[in-house]
Homo-oligomer: A and B are copies of this chain.
Amino acid sequence: MAGFPDITPVHAERATQWLSQSNVRPTRQRVTLAALLMGDGRDRHVTAETLFEAASAADGKVSLATVYNTLRAFCDAGLLREIVVDGAKSYFDTDLCDHPHFFWEDSAELTDAPRESLDIRNLPAAPEGTHVVAVDVVLRLRRS
């Protein structure tokens, strides 16, 4: 459930660059959140709530509203990908490529599914005047 890295100076530095490169102003709050998300370079799935808790535990001083706004800003800047699975929460994924996800119905958790194998052919064509922004593939899991 936890799985967020500590915020080391190195992580903060990396986070700052990540933001600057996408023209997102690296404020203190955004650097904190960015460092938690990608400080160690690993892929992560977060909700506003989990990230807020991690930030509060780490250095505090980020309001929940800012977490929401920041996640949205990161998404708009192309730093994150929003994955919508359950009616209630939105998940944000640091891995930008299309890849399948497992959604665990009992715990409402979202995890990566092995992507190597998946092979989707003959994807329906986008209707006239539109293009496909993303292909969400979610495997809903239930306890056997």
Query: What residues of chain A have their CB less than 8 Å away from a CB belonging to chain B?
Result: 84-90, 100, 102, 104-105, 113-115, 117-124, 126-127, 129-144
Contact = CB atoms under 8 A, between A and B. Distances in A.
Contacts of A134: 139-140
A88 B85 CA distance: 11
A142 B135 contact: no
Contacts of A86: 84
Q: Copies per complex? A: 2
Contacts of A143: 129-130
**Closest 4 A/B residue pairs (Cβ):** A117-B122, A113-B124, A119-B121, A130-B141
Contact of A144 (B84, B122, B131, B144): B131
Given A85-B84, A86-B84, A87-B90, A133 B140 contact: yes
A78 to B, nearest CB: 14
Contacts of A87: 84, 87-90
24 contacts: A84-B84, A84-B85, A85-B136, A87-B87, A87-B90, A102-B124, A102-B127, A117-B124, A118-B121, A118-B122, A118-B123, A123-B139, A126-B141, A127-B141, A129-B144, A130-B141, A130-B142, A131-B141, A131-B144, A132-B141, A133-B142, A135-B138, A136-B136, A136-B137
